[in-house]
Structure 1
Amino acid sequence: MTIALVTGATQGLGLALVEGLAQRLRPTDTVYLTGRDAEKVAAAVQHVPGNGAEVRGELLDVADPGAAAKLAAQLEERHGGVDIVFGNAVMRVGPRDDPPAFIDTYTEVNNFGTTRLLRAFAPLLNDNGRLIVVASSLGTLRQLAPVLHRRFTEPSSLDEVDEQIAHWRDEVKDGRARAGAWPGFANIPSKIGQVAAVRVLAQERRETDLARGVLVAAVCPGMINTPTSALWWDVSTAPTPAQAATALLDLALDPLEPRHYGELVRHGEVVPFS
């Protein structure tokens, strides 16, 4: 029996990942569709076509400091472990949104939510398990001024990555980020922080995980035609969420490629962090 979980799964790419997993897995398998709104979770579960794996809705607000650990404990009690986890929860912002006004919630969801998920579910991975964080090609150091690189290359633990994100958050709030070397687009440091967190966790677990066939990685789905992306770019010719999900599902379900371990992967190829 395969146990899979997707965060941020009530719409867009997250919902497409649930649908794809349900189609590719067996009726005896279970896919957990999670989100922070009970009504949206229930509606999304009803949206998923049948005849595949069982899809179960669960509440999970990754911004809640204890929520990921609580759900992980519940799944461990029910199933003993998990096989596939996609970390896809994200706070979406538009070009007119003011970073100092949204940065607290933004980092709680996108960054601290990611590290909470990694801490909670990495210990539950079964042999041949997959723990994949949906990030972006913006999550590389080439997008960042060199003077800031050490903020994301020196941390050796998830706590230290969180500390760097907290420093950036505070600099955004008090105006130092705008006056300094940080990019104005908040998505860049946030995605770099996500990829850095994956790399740090992978460094801790690499030898044991590879021996067990386990993959820990970040993934870039590329540009997707969604209403949120359309606020920023022309996405009229971009893939749909279902189309974009295909490469991510392949990464989760195909045999392990050791070169992908701990890296940012886009369409099967490693995107160098630096």
Structure 2
Amino acid sequence: MPRVALVTGATQGLGLALVQGLARRLEPADTVYLTGRDAGRIAEAVNATPRTGATVRGELFDVADPDAAGKLAEQMRQRHGGVDVVFGNAVMRIGPDDDPRALIDSYTQVNNFGTTRLLRAFAPLMRDGGRLIVVASSLGTLRHLAPVLHDRFDALTSLEEVDDQVAAWRDAVADGSARAGAWPGFVNIPSKIAQVAAVRVLAGRRREEDARRGILLAAVCPGMINTPTSGAWWDVRDAPSPAQAARPLLDLALGPVDPAHYGELVRFGKVLPWRPE
């Protein structure tokens, strides 16, 4: 059966590198969906992808739209019957000069609610041997959060609970009360922790069945990447390019399953502990 892969946030940077890497490694009968929210940028990205290996197909998909994930998943079910690889890579970034209070609603709609919508919609479509991977970061562990806040994201039992915690944090950022509490000022930290928490929650519900079917559900940290967005925060001159950063993620998506990776945050093939050691 031809394989089907989908990458969100795929019109540039790491997402585009993942699409191009998947296309090279898969077979001509396979399809890789390059998705984003702007039709023009999608077309440009598809045209920039070498015509080798799998077919690359552009698809509009705005993860911030509450209905978009479900609609696209149904289209994929009708077209292909299922999906083999999904990378949740869509991200809205906040720059050093941005006011998080003004942007936090849009930010969480993409990074967090977009992630849980993707997981709800596409987990049921995973074929045997599939890979459902959320791109997060090494900031997505509890060691980066004040201990008094650990219970917000630890031991949750449903994606709805994750969404509720994200909404409470979002509201605290928006009204300024987060600044007076223990929340970190860098909003990327709680956001990434919530993404990893979502993966852990879903993994807890699917672990036995996914193990039987050879499915991997995981979060992944690509490490520092040399992109203009990262360069606004850090010195990334010596960091890997998006294509280089994509390689271990592609290995995770297309190589054998390591049971230790299931439901965890993985960086360069190693599990990053969820709780402080």
Same-fold call, TM cutoff 0.5? yes
Where does residue 80 of structure 1 map in the other structure?
81
Task: Please give the residue correspondences for 1:114-193 in structure 2 after superposition, counting only pairs within 5 Å.
Answer: 114-193=115-194
Matched residue of 1:204: which SS? helix
Where does residue 23 of structure 2 map in the other structure?
22
Deviation at 1:240, TM superposition (A): 0.1
For 1:29 and 1:47, the matched residues in 2 are separated by 19
Query: Structure 2: which 5+ runs fail to align?
Result: none
Where does residue 40 of structure 1 map in the other structure?
41
| Structure 1 segments of 4+ aligned residues over 6 angstroms from their partners | none
TM-score norm. by structure 2 comes to: 0.99
The count of residues paired between Structure 1 and Structure 2 equals 274
CA deviation string 1:59-109 (max 9, x = no partner): 000000000110000000000000000000000110010010000000000
Where does residue 270 of structure 1 map in the other structure?
271
Where does residue 212 of structure 2 map in the other structure?
211
For 1:89 and 1:146, the matched residues in 2 are separated by 29
1:52 aligns with 2:53: yes
Matched residue of 2:117: which SS? helix
Query: Structure 1: which 5+ runs fail to align?
Result: none
Q: In 1, are the aligned partners of 2:166 and 2:194 still within 8 Å (CA)?
A: yes
Matched residue of 1:138: which SS? coil
Matched residue of 1:153: which SS? coil
The one-letter code matched in structure 2 to 1:2 is: R
Q: In 1, are the aligned partners of 2:94 and 2:100 still within 8 Å (CA)?
A: no
Cα RMSD between the aligned structures?
0.4
Deviation at 1:154, TM superposition (A): 3.2
Task: State which drifts further: 146-155 or 15-24.
Answer: 146-155
Task: Please give the residue correspondences for 1:234-253 in structure 2 after superposition, counting only pairs within 5 Å.
Answer: 234-253=235-254
CA deviation string 1:209-244 (max 9, x = no partner): 011000000000000000000000000000000000
For 2:177 and 2:211, the matched residues in 1 are separated by 42
Matched residue of 1:199: which SS? helix
The one-letter code matched in structure 1 to 2:221 is: C
Deviation at 1:51, TM superposition (A): 1.9
TM-score norm. by structure 1 comes to: 1.00
Where does residue 195 of structure 1 map in the other structure?
196
